[in-house]
Amino acid sequence: MPTSPHTPESVFTYAAPRLKFGPGAVTEIGHDVAGLGARSALVVTDPGLAATGHPERVAKALRTAGLRVDVHDSAAVEPSDVSLAAAVERAKGAAPFDAVVAVGGGSSIDTAKAVSLLLTNPGELMDYVNAPVGGGRAPEQSVLPLVAVPTTTGTGAESTTVCVLDVLASQVKTGISHERLRPVLAVVDPELTATQPAGVTASAGMDILCHALESWTARPYTSYEHKTPEQRVPYCGSNPISDLYAEKAMRLLAGAFRGAVAGEEQARADMALAATFAGMGFGNAGVHVPHANAYPIAGRVHDLGSDFRPRDYDVDEAMVPHGMAVASTAPAAFAMTFAANPQRHLTAAAWLDPQGLDADVSEPERLSAVLRRLMRDIGQPSGLAEIGYGDADVDGIVSGTMQQQRLLATAPREVTEEDVAGVVRASMHHW
């Protein structure tokens, strides 16, 4: 556990977007966006998703409600400082907009967050990226209202205040984090996930699971020093409300994850709900070590010379999807954090393994065993070595992880470079 505070925090905060959930929910989006007072909307999506027809379906519903609509397929599969800046410039070159509608996975939603921020605030993208990578500047003006329509079951980006991106020159993933980036409305229609391939469901699903696990095991809000109002940030530590959402997400995942990867319709709907619940949990409690590790793991793969290509992702160069990157060190990370709160780790293992298949594993390794069994069942890589990493890459990953102090501050124990190096080495081979 981090050092005990002199004056413990006694206040926690909670926020979430309005939510509309269920099959057919997207057909009502014209009414919803018009209800925000908008007369024009920019729909942000990516080229692959544009081919499915979902973005145009959303645009048609908006036009039927009387809105002027432009559709931009400007989101990259894994957003970078370069792709986000290009999306912003494209949006600035179009007519003014009253609202932004994101249609897609976390990449589209995060791109839309950057667009809504920089259409209304001065400066450049890197001014707002979290320090020490960027300037850490806070928005001075309100952003355009953002409505998020997720088409993948994973990121929870429709619930959160974070825009994640690769900073290419630094070979690291980081983000922009501010409460104004949270969408005002999440429209979650499970029917839109029907086109999501098995490999994407598996990777994005691991992101859901780690969101829930990391917020559940995050240091409690009472372990921080008491903050003044202006010091409060969206990630406040585990708290009674985030705990409820994290638990519900894990219980849903236990019954739905494998079935969703296999294409079962009800399981897909349960995964969509789990993604939203997990987002509502971690979007307030925070995430920690697995996500901090994921940023350099995804960011540095481009320079490995690796021939790794994730299943069901249409890419022509090495790429580690965000959920896969997060999961890649999760078993070892939770073994490392176990001693900080054994009961929370054991409770999570029991929720995720209701049949007790790993109940005979030693307590410090039980949650790790549950995760490895799941990862193997859904076809995740057998470890960082399969992606292309080796011992020579450990120091680089550690360096990138230690830049993610905003996330590591949420860990249930102090995390050193030696801790991270041990987790990375233990993650080279899961089985």
pLDDT tens digits, residue range 342-400?
999 999 999 999 999 999 999 999 999 999 999 999 999 999 999 999 999 999 999 99
278 and 401 housed in the same domain: yes
Those residues with Cβ within 8 angstroms of residue 78's Cβ, 6 or more apart along the chain or in another chain: 107, 166, 298, 319, 321, 322
Asked if 156 and 226 sit in the same domain, the reply is no
* Residues 133, 245 share a domain: no
Q: CA-to-CA distance for 344 and 342, rounded, in angstroms?
A: 6
pLDDT at position 270 is 94
Give the number of domains in the chain.
2
Same domain, 289 and 211: yes
The type of residue at 14 is Y
- Asked whether residue 6 is assigned to any structural domain, the reply reads no
Domain boundary among 142, 166, 188: 188
In a domain, 11, yes or no: no
CATH code assigned at 335: 1.20.1090.10
pLDDT of residue 410: 97
pLDDT surpassing 90 at residue 174: no
Q: How far apart are CA 273 and CA 267, in angstroms?
A: 10
User: pLDDT higher for 79 or 362?
Assistant: 362
For residues 31 and 156, membership in a common domain is answered with yes
Percent of the chain scored above 90 by pLDDT?
80
The predicted model gives 273-292 an average pLDDT of 93
Same-domain status, 121 and 29: yes
Q: Residue 24 has what pLDDT?
A: 94
DSSP 413-427: S---HHHHHHHHHHT
Dist CA 20 CA 15 (whole Å): 16
Enclosing domain of residue 276: 198-426
pLDDT surpasses 80 at 2: no
pLDDT tens profile 240-255: 999 999 999 999 999 9
Q: How far is 211 from 365, CA to CA, in rounded Å?
A: 20
Residue 228: inside a domain, yes or no?
yes
Element spanning 148, H or E: strand 146-150
**Residues 364 and 262 reside in one and the same domain:** yes
Same domain assignment for residues 61 and 147? yes
What dihedral angle (degrees, nearest 10) is formed by the CA atoms of 63, 196, 296, 381?
Answer: 180
Residue 221, amino acid: Y
Q: Are strands 68-72 and 99-104 parallel, antiparallel or unpaired?
A: unpaired
Determine the Cα–Cα distance for residues 180 and 162; give it in Å rounded to an integer: 10
| C-alpha distances out from residue 225 to 11, 131, 236, 406, Å | 11, 21, 11, 15
Residue 9 domain flag: no
| pLDDT score for 155 | 75
Q: How confident is the model at residue 169 (pLDDT cuts 50, 70, 90)?
A: confident
Domain membership flag for residue 279:
yes
Give the integer Cα–Cα distance in Å for 166 and 321. 12
* Same domain flag for 112 and 202: no
Residue 323, pLDDT score: 93
Based on the fold, state whether residues 270 and 159 are members of the same structural domain: no
DSSP 386-403: HHT--GGGHHHHHHHHHT
Calpha distance 137→131 (Å, rounded): 9
pLDDT tens digits, 115-130: 999 999 999 999 999 8
pLDDT of amino acid 1: 58
Model confidence over 83-119: pLDDT tens digits?
Answer: 999 999 999 999 799 999 999 988 899 999 999 999 9
pLDDT value, residue 156: 80
Q: Taking a C-beta distance cutoff of 8 angstroms, is the pair 208, 274 a contact?
A: yes
Overall size of the chain counted in residues: 431
Question: What pLDDT does 406 receive?
Answer: 85
**Is 13 a member of any domain?**
no
pLDDT score at 277? 92
Are residue 283 and residue 165 in the same domain, yes or no? no
Give the pLDDT band (50/70/90) at residue 315. confident
Amino acid at 52: T
pLDDT digits (tens, 9 = 90+) for 41-63: 999 999 988 988 999 999 999 99
Same domain, 148 and 290: no
Residue where a domain terminates, one of 188, 211, 242 = 188
| Residue 184: HSE in the Cβ half-sphere, 13 Å Cα cutoff | 17
Last residue of a domain, one of 144, 168, 188: 188
d(CA 176, CA 304) in angstroms, rounded, equals 26
